[in-house]
């Protein structure tokens, strides 16, 4: 069993604690979050019922939470959220924009509460031209979350016109520090590229860290290899989107990732049949 930071998914307040317990497994302290907010940025992810069918699959697979925009969440059967948490994403921007790093608030914490959400998330690009506005929005949402007892997931990235290449581990640790200082309850970060350097980020951060899956991997097995490497750093969870809903078999990949996050290691995904029977303690 991999060691998880004792700070993972720590309870911070009564209202937040109750909602956080739906996002982070109360036994393992870990979480598998599947973000599906991409359609605002890149366009449709599938057929009109894609969100509903995919969320159903994720709930069956054992994912802990899904991230959706508030309008998209209305097209998902609420029954699926009896088995998994809903995180409503408050930020938006498109790849058609003159500034693809700009993010604006398109929803509020009160909207998420009316939908029955368990948390909200925001996206902040540090290094963008609009960094000041995004930080101000972050601070305002954070204060509202504290008032209403709503957990806040901050998706922090180093992106902007003066940047190129992978951010350094020091920069990723800086992003984690910003999320902590501005009041986030969890933070989503890019992977540093190595277990050892990711662990230094974990060691520097007092709030739970979920690591992004990045671009679509070449194979489903490559997704599991990446997940294992990340989890060995002691992070609180994974936030894999395209590598789950874009997988050749989303149910198998999501099931395998859920098992890994919560302390089991599956065999290769190309052996699709009898997956549960071949899980072994990591």
Question: Where does residue 144 rank: exposed (0-12), middle (13-18), buried (19+ CB within 10 A)?
Answer: middle
Task: Give Cα separations from 133 to 57, 103, 196, 200 (angstroms).
Answer: 37, 9, 33, 29
Angle between helical axes of 169-181 and 195-204 (0-180°, round to 10): 30
**For residues 33 and 69, is the Cβ–Cβ distance under 8 A?**
no
Tell me the catalytic residues: 37, 157, 188
């Amino acid at each position: 069993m991999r060691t998880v930071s004792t700070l993972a998914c720590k309870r911070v307040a009564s209202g937040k604690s109750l909602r956080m317990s739906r996002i982070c497994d109360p036994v393992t302290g870990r979480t598998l979050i599947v973000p599906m907010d991409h359609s605002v940025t890149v366009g449709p992810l599938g057929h009109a019922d894609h969100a509903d069918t995919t969320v159903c699959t994720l709930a069956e697979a054992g994912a802990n939470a899904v991230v959706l925009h508030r309008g998209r969440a209305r097209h998902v059967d609420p029954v699926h959220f009896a088995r998994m948490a809903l995180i409503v994403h408050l930020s938006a921007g498109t790849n058609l924009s003159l500034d693809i790093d700009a993010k604006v608030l398109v929803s509020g914490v009160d909207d998420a509460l009316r939908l029955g959400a368990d948390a909200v998330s925001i996206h902040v690009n540090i290094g963008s031209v609009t960094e000041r506005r995004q930080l101000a929005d972050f601070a305002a949402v954070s204060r509202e979350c504290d008032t209403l007892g709503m957990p806040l997931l901050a998706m922090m990235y180093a992106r902007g016109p003066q940047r190129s290449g992978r951010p350094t581990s020091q920069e990723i640790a800086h992003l984690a520090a910003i999320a902590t200082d501005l009041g986030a309850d969890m933070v989503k970060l890019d992977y540093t590229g190595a277990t050892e350097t990711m662990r230094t980020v974990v060691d520097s951060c007092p709030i739970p860290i979920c690591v992004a899956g990045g671009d679509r991997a070449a194979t489903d097995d490559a997704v599991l290899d990446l997940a294992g490497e990340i989890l060995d750093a002691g992070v609180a969870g994974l936030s894999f989107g395209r590598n789950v809903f874009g997988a050749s078999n989303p149910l198998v990949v999501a099931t395998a990732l859920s098992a890994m996050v919560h302390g089991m290691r599956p065999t290769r995904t190309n052996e699709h049949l009898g997956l549960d029977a071949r899980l072994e303690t990591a």
